[in-house]
Amino acid sequence: MTTTGTGSQRLRLGTRGSRLALTQSGQVAEALMAAGGGGAAAAAGKASEGSGGLGIDLVTVRTDGDGDRTPLRQLGGVGVFAARLRHALLDGEVDLVVHSFKDLPTQPVEGLEVICVPAREDPRDALCARDGLTLADLPEGARVGTGSPRRAAQLLAARPDLEVVDLRGNVPTRLARVRGLEVVGVGTDEPVAPSRADAAGDLDAVVLALSGLRRLGLEHCASEVLDLETMLPAPAQGALAVETRTGEDSAELARAVAALDDEPTRLAVTAERALMARLGAGCAAPVGAWAHLRGGGQEQREEHAEHGTGWNEGFRGDDTAVTGGRQGAGAANGGPRPVGVSEVGPHGSAASCRSPRVLVLRAVVTSLDGGQEVGCELSTELPETSGGPGTPGDTAAVRAAEALGARAAEVLLDDGADQIVDLHANKPRRD
């Protein structure tokens, strides 16, 4: 961190070099500067302008995962995209970094802390198929690309006839496999160039995170947004994490972080990541999870309701667990995944003027061939919070979210989740 002659504090924000990472890091930088009084925002890779307040410069950090085309499950999965950013932070090369939260290992790193979780994008996955086809419309034996074992497993659970093809590369590169486009400069984020009009690509479809498509302005490439009954997203998918060194002393940054941090998102991803931590699972494990807040006069992300069922649908209950599994082709015809059954918890009633805040977590573990699946749904009432991150009320809510995630993991393990797939080589011992 430096202080300019005009009194402006300048921070170096580390980011991966992909177009998506630069876009979302630039968006976070703009929001932090606006909240911190830093004037005009920075363009990707350029210094911000303006005097006084908070200024941020983007610093590109190349990570091991960016240049390696090895399948994700063979790269070790856990932290492959985050490790280099964290090293840059610890070594003082940068002052803060922006992660895709789903890529961040659940184990904390001494000397670092996540200081801000901005509002989450829609966490659902999107099918990008030729000719605008939906998942149900894809022909038998269609070739569908994904680099995610979770997406592959859930695709096969819904459509066991599909041929799932492992896929790496940036978003434009993956889309080019379907849309008959050629990438200009393999392994880079240069724009893709159209191939011959008759080129059809080698895949019928790819599955990508809807949040990434939106941030890149490529949402129109999605032929179908997959509902939560078909594909449960990765824990923390669609969320970003701003990480810095512990004890970083900047009044401007603290003010900006307080304005940008989104409590519903933070509590949801806390529960989802606590689930992963208790399972001992890495980011490449076939685990799906989605948490959201209900009640308290607040519905999380109502603006996404028009995009289809699932994203803003909640399931009420209080510590209610409903578990179940799917078997092979029966998964495609066996109805929706289990949901909670009680209408209200013991601390509130349907007639309450203000319903209690309830955090609901749905989770699933799927075998790699899609033939077996273990799922559960739990919910818990949260204490009221006030004062923002780090206050006693907020700490109690975070602890409740962590406990919810851990309980969900125990339910999954009790039902044999670790028997249908190798969640992680060093998964924790169960007492």
pLDDT in tens, 323-379: 444 444 334 333 333 322 222 233 333 334 556 899 999 999 999 999 999 999 999
**Model pLDDT, residue 251:** 73
The pLDDT of 128-137, averaged and rounded, is 94
Burial of 75 (0-12, 13-18, 19+ CB in 10 A): middle
Asked whether this chain's domains 2-118+239-258 and 125-225 adopt the same fold, the reply is: yes
Longest dimension (CA), the chain: 68
Q: What is the rounded distance in angstroms from the CA atom of residue 57 to the CA atom of residue 53?
A: 14
CB 296 within 8 A of CB 348: no
**Model pLDDT, residue 79:** 57
Query: Could you report how far apart the first and last alpha carbons of the chain are, in Å?
Result: 45
Whether domain 263-420 has CATH 3.10.20.30: no
For the chain, what are the domain ranges? Answer: 2-118+239-258, 125-225, 263-420
Give DSSP secondary structure letters for 327-353. BTTHHHHS-SPP----SS-TT--TT-S
- In this structure, the chain runs to a length of 431
* 312 phi and psi angles, rounded to 5 deg: -110, 15
**Model pLDDT, residue 431:** 42
**Band of residue 82 on the pLDDT scale cut at 50, 70, 90:** confident
Q: What is the rounded distance in angstroms from the CA atom of residue 232 to the CA atom of residue 240?
A: 18
Q: What is the pLDDT of residues 138-191, one digit of tens each?
A: 999 999 999 999 999 999 999 999 999 999 888 988 998 996 434 333 334 444
CB neighbour list of residue 80: distance below 8 Å, 6 or more residues apart: 63, 64, 65, 68, 72, 103
Q: For 205-247, list the strands marked E by DSSP.
A: 205-209, 224-225, 240-245
**Band of residue 426 on the pLDDT scale cut at 50, 70, 90:** very low
Q: How far apart, in Å, are the Cα atoms of 164 and each of 126, 130, 133, 142, 160?
A: 15, 15, 16, 8, 10
Helix (H, G, I), strand (E, B) or coil at 398: helix
Q: What is the pLDDT of residues 234-293, one digit of tens each?
A: 999 999 999 999 887 667 788 888 889 999 999 999 999 999 999 999 767 899 999 999
Per-position b or e across 139-167, b if 16+ CB within 10 A of its CB: eeebbbbbbbbbbbbbbbbbbeebebbbb
Fold of 125-225: D-Maltodextrin-Binding Protein; domain 2 (3.40.190)
Helix (H) or strand (E) holding 360: strand 358-366
**How many Cβ atoms sit within 10 Å of the Cβ of residue 283?**
26
Q: What is the rounded distance in angstroms from the CA atom of residue 128 to the CA atom of residue 206?
A: 5
The residue from 57, 64, 68, 103 that is catalytic is: 103
**Model pLDDT, residue 258:** 84
CB 18 within 8 A of CB 66: yes
pLDDT at 303 over 90: no
The pLDDT of 206-224, averaged and rounded, is 94
Q: What is the rounded distance in angstroms from the CA atom of residue 63 to the CA atom of residue 297?
A: 42
pLDDT at 393 over 70: no
Q: Is the dihedral of CA 282, 283, 288, 294 positive or negative?
A: positive
State what percent of residues in the chain have pLDDT above 70.
Answer: 66
CB 79 within 8 A of CB 104: yes
Q: Is there a catalytic annotation at residue 103?
A: yes
More confident residue, 35 or 7: 35
Q: What is the pLDDT of residues 22-53, one digit of tens each?
A: 999 999 999 988 887 654 444 344 444 444 57
The pLDDT of 100-109, averaged and rounded, is 90
Domain 2-118+239-258: give its CATH superfamily: Periplasmic binding protein-like II (3.40.190.10)
Mean pLDDT is lowest, of 2-16, 38-52, 129-143, for 38-52
Across the chain, what does the average pLDDT equal?
76
Q: What is the rounded distance in angstroms from the CA atom of residue 144 to the CA atom of residue 11?
A: 42
The token pair that represents 405 in the structure block:
């995630």
pLDDT at 404 over 50: yes
Q: What is the rounded distance in angstroms from the CA atom of residue 404 to the CA atom of residue 376?
A: 12
The pLDDT of 194-212, averaged and rounded, is 75
**Model pLDDT, residue 222:** 93
State what percent of residues in the chain have pLDDT above 90.
Answer: 52
| Strands, sheet with 287-294, edge to edge from the N-terminal-most edge strand | 287-294, 358-366, 373-381
CB 352 within 8 A of CB 405: no
The token pair that represents 1 in the structure block:
């961190």
Q: What is the rounded distance in angstroms from the CA atom of residue 44 to the CA atom of residue 109?
A: 28
